[in-house]
């Protein structure tokens, strides 16, 4: 029986002619794969959000041109047993330092974190004149005995501290003093490197959806310290007002699109609810 099967197989091959070689099969498969891959890539490219190549730093493209303000944000993690003493010392000394007109620096806001990292103080300063103003201020403080004593006493109350130098987005409000009482939310976004321009483009269109209740206080991005970090500062009457204001944004056409395009740019995000200190211009 076996020889008969073998002869049928030989006859069949003679009728069909020579079959494809292994190399021909592999080449044909590769061609089909390449064709499908190219077709898929072309189709996908229709939906990819393209960002034009830039010749300037994102700080030049996104910051305000009409001002040369530089901001410093500082986070102090305070020993829990010293928080009240820390607040009292800060409220006693900082206003006196800023009464001196020779310091090109102004307080923007001072807070304790209510929800988020506990026993934490957050301070925001504005340097009118950019980096030269910052250096001028630092050099003068080195010779200020009251400030040096303040720092010495304060250091005994702290667990850690960190800061960042920031620029403000051109499309955000510049922080101005506010009457209270308000609570403040500091939303911090750590972006994927290379995505700051795309973030700015989307928020430049979307900020209008968050202006009706005047909740937008300021928007900043880091220049020194941890990079590709964005801070959005919001003000609300209370937590219920925050909830209602944020929910109202979702009912506005276009807000969902901003969220859709910006969420993939974020590596990590954090929200702090903060209470102003008595000396804070933002109450």
pLDDT 10s digits, 85-126: 999 999 999 998 888 888 889 999 999 999 999 999 999 999
pLDDT at res. 68: 76
**pLDDT above 60 for 202:** yes
Q: Is residue 45 part of a domain?
A: no
pLDDT at res. 178: 96
Q: Is residue 23 part of a domain?
A: no
Indicate the number of domains in the chain: 2
Token pair belonging to 43: 């189709």
Q: Is residue 228 within 8 Å of residue 193, measured between CB atoms? A: yes
Q: Which of 137, 166, 195 is the last residue of a domain?
A: 166
Arithmetic mean of pLDDT, 54-80? 76
Domain of residue 242, residue span: 169-277
202, 181, 180, 183: which is closest to 191 by C-alpha? 202
**pLDDT above 50 for 35:** no
Same domain, 160 and 175: no
185, 213, 187: which is closest to 199 by C-alpha? 187
Q: Is residue 87 part of a domain?
A: yes
Task: With H, G, I as helix, E, B as strand and everything else as coil, classify residue 161.
Answer: strand
pLDDT at res. 98: 86
User: Which residues of 95-211 form beta strands (DSSP E)?
Assistant: 105-115, 120-128, 158-168, 183-191
pLDDT averaged over every residue in the chain: 83
Query: What is the CATH number for 238?
Result: 3.30.70.100
- Taking the C-alpha atoms of residue 263 and residue 280, their distance in angstroms, rounded to an integer, is 32
Q: Is residue 61 within 8 Å of residue 197, measured between CB atoms? A: yes
Q: Is 169 left (phi over 0), alpha (psi -120 to 50) or beta?
A: beta
Arithmetic mean of pLDDT, 71-95? 97
Q: Is residue 31 part of a domain?
A: no
Count of beta carbons in the 10 Å neighbourhood of residue 62 = 22
Q: Is residue 20 part of a domain?
A: no
Burial of 67 (0-12, 13-18, 19+ CB in 10 A): middle
Q: Which of 112, 146, 166 is the last residue of a domain?
A: 166
**pLDDT above 80 for 27:** no
Same domain, 180 and 112: no
Same domain, 176 and 145: no
Q: Which of 136, 166, 196 is the last residue of a domain?
A: 166
């Amino acid at each position: 029986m076996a020889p008969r099967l073998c002869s049928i197989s030989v006859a069949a091959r003679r009728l069909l002619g020579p079959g494809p070689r292994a190399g021909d099969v592999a080449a044909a498969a590769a061609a089909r794969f390449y064709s499908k891959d190219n077709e898929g890539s072309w189709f996908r490219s229709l939906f990819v959000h393209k960002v034009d190549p830039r010749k300037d730093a994102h700080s030049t493209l996104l910051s305000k041109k009409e001002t040369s303000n530089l901001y410093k944000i500082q986070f102090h993690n305070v020993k829990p047993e010293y928080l009240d003493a820390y607040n009292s010392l800060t409220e006693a000394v900082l206003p006196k330092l800023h009464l001196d007109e020779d310091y090109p620096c102004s307080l923007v806001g001072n807070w304790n974190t209510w929800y988020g990292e506990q026993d934490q103080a957050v301070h925001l300063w504005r340097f009118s004149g950019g980096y030269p103003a910052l250096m001028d201020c630092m050099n003068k403080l080195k010779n200020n005995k009251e400030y040096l004593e303040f720092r010495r006493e304060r250091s005994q109350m702290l667990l850690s501290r960190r800061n960042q130098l920031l620029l403000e987005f051109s499309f955000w409000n510049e922080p101005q003093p506010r009457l209270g009482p308000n609570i403040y939310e500091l939303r911090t976004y750590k972006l994927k490197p290379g995505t700051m321009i795309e973030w700015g483009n989307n928020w430049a269109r979307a900020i209008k959806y968050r202006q009706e209740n005047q909740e937008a206080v300021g928007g900043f991005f880091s220049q020194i310290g941890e990079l590709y970090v964005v801070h959005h500062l919001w003000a609300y009457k209370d937590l219920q007002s925050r909830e209602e204001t944020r929910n109202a944004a979702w009912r506005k056409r276009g807000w969902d699109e901003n969220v859709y395009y910006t969420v993939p740019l974020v590596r990590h995000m954090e929200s702090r609810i903060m209470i102003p200190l008595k000396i804070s211009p933002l109450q």
